Amino acid sequence: MAGRKLKPFIATFLAANLFTALPASANGFWEFATAYSKDNYHTQVAQSFSRAVEVCTGGSIKINVHSGGSLYRSAEIKKAVEVAAVPIGEVFLASYADLDPLFSLDSLPFVATDYDQSLKLHNASKNELEALLAKHNTRLLYSVPWSPQGIFTDNPIEDLSSLSGKGFFAFDKTTRRIAELTGMMMPPKVKIAELEYAIDLKKVEILISSAATGYNRKIWNRLSYFYDIRGWLPRNYVLINEDTFKTATTQVQNCLLSSARLAQETGELKARNETAKFLKGMEDNGMKILEPSEALSKELKLIGETITLEWLGEMGSQGQDILDRYKAENEE
């Protein structure tokens, strides 16, 4: 009995020490946590945001970007920002769809399939997203898309029957549902940091991800084909702790917001420009870049419709309102 009572205490103690709140602006040096490497364009945008804030504030605020998960691991960053253990962090909100389905909006298959549509979908949902993030004691600064999602595989695929029974790396709610609907196998406890090892062991034979991931992780050394299905463009979100923002001076707040707008524009442009480089780089290294067959495209879009209907069932009228606004803007 004593052991059972002790376990919650230990968990609480560890969480409290892992996420220790620090005064962000005590000496003008702020920390920015991101899980991505220095050469990733998301990190490069974060660096440009940090420089812009420093210039705007006349050097009174200096932001140190910790890349590669060196300050907090990817799964820890959102919580760290919520409790002000770090004032600013970059997160992949689709990973938190189990907390609220709104977080997976940008990962609904075939709803937004290019950069223009991705930005329109983001803008259509921004008010609802900001209200949700406020409940998590965070504020959105800016958001940058990944390149369109495609399928990496070691063998040609003609239709969904080619996927059944294959080992598949699922990293969020959408990819888990795709695995369920196609009969792919999800090996347990495979983390993104272990992806290459899992592919070598044949635990993972199929991967849905961006060309950016394929290029940065040199996936051509392990998988031979990339089907450019342009399924969706998930986004990264840079958040600031709400209390940190509110206690900052008006000048600092204005600098943060203006620098965030610039970072958003820079990130959108950088993502668009980098995509062609990623695809060419993979092709130059021997990966075959292919368009999906008509049969595969049709089957995948039906899966996308199923997942979107399920999402609407969870979101209710709020979800329908978002998609209606997006559709109206997309038709202009």
Please enumerate in sequence order all residues whose Cβ is within 8 A of that of 99, keeping only pairs 6 or more positions apart, or say none. none
- Give the CB-side neighbour count of residue 45, counting CA atoms within 13 A: 29
Region 222-245: mean pLDDT is 97
Please enumerate in sequence order all residues whose Cβ is within 8 A of that of 156, keeping only pairs 6 or more positions apart, or say none. 162, 225, 290
Angle, nearest 10°, between helix axes 115-135 and 317-331? 150
**Residue at 188 is within a domain:** no
pLDDT digits (tens, 9 = 90+) for 98-140: 999 999 999 999 999 999 999 999 999 999 999 999 999 999 9
Q: What is the distance between the terminal CA atoms of the chain, rounded to a whole angstrom?
A: 64
**How many whole angstroms separate alpha carbon 57 and alpha carbon 63?**
11
Q: What pLDDT is attached to residue 19?
A: 56
CATH number at residue 93: 3.40.190.170
Q: What pLDDT is attached to residue 8?
A: 41
Q: What pLDDT is attached to residue 330?
A: 86
In percent, the amount of the chain with pLDDT more than 90 equals 87
- Indicate whether 22 pLDDT > 80: no
Task: Tally DSSP H helices, then E strands, for the chain.
Answer: 11, 10
Tokens describing residue 6: 């002790």
With cut-offs at 50, 70 and 90, classify the pLDDT of residue 27.
Answer: low
- Indicate whether 5 pLDDT > 50: no
User: How is 152-199 classified by DSSP, letter by letter?
Assistant: EESS--SSGGGTTT-BEE--SHHHHHHHHHHT-B--TT--GGGHHHHH
Contact indicator for 68, 35 with CB cutoff of 8 Å? yes
Q: What pLDDT is attached to residue 24?
A: 54
Q: What pLDDT is attached to residue 53?
A: 98
pLDDT digits (tens, 9 = 90+) for 34-88: 999 999 999 999 999 999 999 999 999 999 999 999 999 999 999 999 999 999 9
**Residue at 36 is within a domain:** yes
**Residue at 11 is within a domain:** no
**Residue at 212 is within a domain:** no
Q: What pLDDT is attached to residue 331?
A: 83
**Residue at 330 is within a domain:** no
pLDDT digits (tens, 9 = 90+) for 136-191: 999 999 999 999 999 999 999 999 999 999 999 999 999 999 999 999 999 877 87
- Indicate whether 1 pLDDT > 50: no
Q: What pLDDT is attached to residue 332?
A: 73
**How many whole angstroms separate alpha carbon 267 and alpha carbon 323?**
24
**Residue at 46 is within a domain:** yes
Calculate the average pLDDT of the chain. 92
Nearest to 280 by CA among 210, 215, 207: 215
- Indicate whether 6 pLDDT > 90: no
Q: How many residues does the chain have?
A: 332
With cut-offs at 50, 70 and 90, classify the pLDDT of residue 194.
Answer: confident
Contact indicator for 50, 260 with CB cutoff of 8 Å? no
Strands 168-169 and 206-210: parallel
Q: Report which secondary-structure segment, H or E, holds 322.
A: helix 317-331
Tokens describing residue 79: 């919580």
Q: What pLDDT is attached to residue 110?
A: 98
In percent, the amount of the chain with pLDDT more than 70 equals 92
- Indicate whether 20 pLDDT > 50: yes
Please list the residues that pair with 89 across neighbouring strands: 33, 239
Q: What pLDDT is attached to residue 173?
A: 95
Tokens describing residue 83: 């409790």
**How many whole angstroms separate alpha carbon 244 and alpha carbon 230?**
38
Total domains present in the chain = 1
Contact indicator for 134, 143 with CB cutoff of 8 Å? no
**How many whole angstroms separate alpha carbon 222 and alpha carbon 225?**
10
Which residue range is the domain that position 87 belongs to? Answer: 19-146+234-280
DSSP 8-state assignment for residue 144? E
pLDDT digits (tens, 9 = 90+) for 81-91: 999 999 999 99
Region 9-14: mean pLDDT is 38
Nearest to 234 by CA among 322, 168, 175: 175
**Residue at 207 is within a domain:** no
Q: What pLDDT is attached to residue 215?
A: 95
Q: What pLDDT is attached to residue 210?
A: 95
**Residue at 258 is within a domain:** yes
- Give the CB-side neighbour count of residue 172, counting CA atoms within 13 A: 24
DSSP 8-state assignment for residue 287? -
- Regarding predicted confidence, which is higher, 193 or 251? 251
